[in-house]
Structure 1
Amino acid sequence: MTSISSTLRIDIVSDVVCPWCVIGYRQLAAALEASATPYEIYWHPFELNPNMPAEGQNLREHVAEKYGTTKQQSEDSRRQMSKIAEEVGFEFHFTDDMRMHNTFNVHQLLHWADQYGRAHDLKQALFAAHFTDGRNLSDDNVLADIVAEIGIDRSEAFAVLKDQRFANDVRTAQKFWLDQGIQGVPAVVFNRRHLVTGAQGIENYERILTELTEESS
């Protein structure tokens, strides 16, 4: 595949508790690696459940309430997602006590980490913390620990969570993407012009990159 001559801007609107967001990103990353396309990724906030209480909710109960999903449908979906995730090198570890979380604080930390050029690293760490390790993203101490594990100051992260200094910034960013018509994630925007929603699969992302290459030539 011919690489794109200039750097490709990729804006990704997502939530760290969205399974298709991590799958979609991994598929896109594989396509980018295969194409040798120069790119820059910018992560943007989206809350799947902005009205979720701070303590979160059992994931199976949440899915049943929100989508009317039966236990068997939930099991089938988990197996399907786990298989697809495994194909792109990511491990889902679903358990009966796994929880859905309110992610507003998570997005504040990502906004803060971006000031250090570490939003991408933190995003990947949070995906793994939630889906692979089953850590409690509703706990500020856990979130601060995850930040420290990627080499950013834990005490400052904790202070960011306590004083909510980036709350307005996150709300403004969320509103911007909602105003653009983004109602579900993952939503990927290439070069600020081409919107692609959902986990597309490696081959489809490769096709998209090829089309962008041809467009820019």
Structure 2
Amino acid sequence: MSQPLTIDFVSDIACPWCAIGLSSLQLALARLGDAVDAQIVVHPFELNPQMGPEGEAIVDYLGKKYGRTPEQIAQTQEMIRERGASVGFNFGPRNYVYNTFDAHRLLHWAGLEGKQLPLKLELLRAYHSEGRDPSNVLQSGDYADEVRAEEEEFQSHGIQSVPAIIFNRRYLVSGGQPVETFEQVIQQILAEA
């Protein structure tokens, strides 16, 4: 019999480690098969909430934010591509960083419709594999208040970086962990239940 497991996945579309983490988590769940009945709920976090609608060149943005040179950025992007490939996520060339607030509003709506996870995966692919801009997907201001409230809630609980993966509202795992790490954490949680 499958054990239920609630997984709150706090993340941003713009975060490459979130794409890696979600892919790793899904592979771990697939390895565990029928032992677990997992429900993944995605929650918003903005890495660059002040980003304008036109976006910013990734080299300029990462250079200012982290003090990295273009060469260091290229090395990091290559490492991220390799990690992504190892869990089945394809990172394409991405030259711009965009505001993701509209994507979070769209994900909130998709959650009400029961289609949140497939949309999250598609938005991650569009942003990281195809370099597409998720900041222009909505015409109205719907769900802005709900998204802001949810962001504030998780930040008030100490979430300062993403991905932040919370199992059964008790156990926090941070970062784009390897498949084996997620598998071990889930097995330990199930054993304690």
TM-score by length of 2: 0.95
Show the counterpart of 1:173.
150
Show the counterpart of 1:126.
123
Q: After superposition, give the CA deviation of every residue in 1:123-142 in whole Å (9 maximum; x if it has no partner).
A: 1110110111111223x2xx
Show the counterpart of 1:188.
165
Tell me, yes or no, if structure 1 residue 12 matches structure 2 residue 17.
no
Q: Secondary structure at the match of 1:164?
A: coil
CA distance in 1, matches of 2:121, 2:187: 26
Show the counterpart of 1:59.
58
Question: Structure 2 counterpart of 1:31, which letter?
Answer: A
Contact 2:93 2:130 (C-alpha < 8 Å) held by counterparts: no
Show the counterpart of 1:44.
43
Q: After superposition, give the CA deviation of every residue in 1:108-131 in whole Å (9 maximum; x if it has no partner).
A: 111011111111111111011011
Alignment of 1:188-207 (within 5 A): 188-207=165-184
Question: Structure 2 counterpart of 1:45, which letter?
Answer: P
Give the alignment partner of residue 108 of structure 2, picking from 111, 127, 146.
Answer: 111
Tell me, yes or no, if structure 1 residue 26 matches structure 2 residue 3.
no
Tell me, yes or no, if structure 1 residue 211 matches structure 2 residue 185.
no
Q: Per-residue deviation at 1:163?
A: 2.4
Q: Per-residue deviation at 1:208?
A: 0.3
Q: Per-residue deviation at 1:6?
A: 2.4
CA distance in 2, matches of 1:14, 1:87: 20
CA distance in 1, matches of 2:25, 2:60: 31
Question: Structure 2 counterpart of 1:189, which letter?
Answer: I
Q: Mind listing any 5+ residue stretches in structure 2 that lack a counterpart?
A: none
Q: After superposition, give the CA deviation of every residue in 1:11-41 in whole Å (9 maximum; x if it has no partner).
A: 0000011000000111111111101121000
Question: Structure 2 counterpart of 1:41, which letter?
Answer: I
Pairs aligned (count): 191
Contact 2:3 2:190 (C-alpha < 8 Å) held by counterparts: no
Q: Per-residue deviation at 1:165?
A: 1.7
Q: Secondary structure at the match of 2:134?
A: coil
Q: After superposition, give the CA deviation of every residue in 1:46-101 in whole Å (9 maximum; x if it has no partner).
A: 00011111211111110001000111111110110100100111110124xx1111
Percent identity at matched positions? Answer: 39
CA distance in 1, matches of 2:148, 2:24: 28
Q: Secondary structure at the match of 2:43?
A: strand
TM-score by length of 1: 0.85
Question: Structure 2 counterpart of 1:134, which letter?
Answer: G
CA distance in 2, matches of 1:62, 1:9: 35
Question: Structure 2 counterpart of 1:127, which letter?
Answer: L
Q: Mind listing any 5+ residue stretches in structure 1 that lack a counterpart?
A: 144-160
